[in-house]
Amino acid sequence: MPPQEKSTTAQDNARNIVDGRAIAGQLLCELAGKVAELKKRGLQPGLAFVRVGEDPASKVYVGRKEKACKDLGIFSETHVLPETVLEGRLIELIGALNADPRLHGILVQAPLPKSISEARVYSSVLPHKDVDGFHPVNAGKLMLGDPSGFQPCTPAGIMELFARSGVQTAGAEVVILGRGNIVGKPMAAMLCQKGKNANATVTLCHSATRDVAAHCRRADILIAAMGVAHFVKADMVKPGATVIDVGVNRVEGKITGDVDFDAVQKVAGKITPNPGGVGPMTIAMLMSNTVRAAETWS
């Protein structure tokens, strides 16, 4: 292939990429202005991170969130507990953070040790400090379409990607791979609501779904959040569909998604890279929720 033709092909491929880093950067710039306004009124947003154990991925994720706070001027503090910590001690710490007026948000980094109930821990965070959107009150508000609650950051980030990259959800057939509480279920709830940037028809696929590939092939929007590396192949994607890759898998020491990106990009109308797609948006939405929590207190 001549050099000029190669260059044109590369440019064509790049046009269908939904750049999560760039869109997150836009959102963070907007938030920086809001933080500056709050500080003028004597209020600095505050966020606490709680990490249990020394899981390498968790350390990286919390580190990125700490950096985002620093860049925006959000006060943050990190509490690290040993893997052997008792559930009661963790909930006691969360109680202290709930009572701290400097903190508007609390994030407990997943995963937690198997000896600890995630449901009890997330329920112990006050709903108005639950910037991760996992408290039953916020989950209930999400299901009811009540915008006063906090939405989980990853699906909220995907909704923001749709809005800012011109993806039409109204009337669209959406297929979500994965029924987890962090992405799959709340994503389905957001997309089927009656409202702006929603109004989609949603199919939620999981391990007991028959002929997953057939569901995928009719999707206008396909969201992969199942944690299986390169599960989505090109022949599973409807030409021109939007493909969102949420998966985080470690293969041969590298992070990769649930989508066979190189092959699927040639078929998709729009596609998120991984890394560089959904991940930056998750952090941006965490910052957004924290700023909104502070604004509510102001």
Do residues 78 and 51 lie in contact, with contact meaning Cβ atoms separated by under 8 Å? yes
Is position 65 annotated as part of the catalytic site? yes
Q: Which of 109, 130, 151, 258 is catalytic?
A: 109
Residue 50 to residues 40, 70, 81, 82: CA-CA distances in angstroms? 29, 17, 8, 11
Do residues 110 and 122 lie in contact, with contact meaning Cβ atoms separated by under 8 Å? no
* Residues contacting 94, CB < 8 A, separation 6+: 50, 106, 108, 121, 124, 125
Is position 109 annotated as part of the catalytic site? yes
Q: Which of 132, 220, 245, 258 is catalytic?
A: 132
Looking at the DSSP bridge assignments, the partners of residue 283 are: none
Q: CA-to-CA distance for 79 and 51, rounded, in angstroms? A: 6
Q: Which of 65, 129, 141, 238 is catalytic?
A: 65
Q: CA-to-CA distance for 113 and 255, rounded, in angstroms? A: 22
Which residues are annotated as catalytic? 65, 109, 132
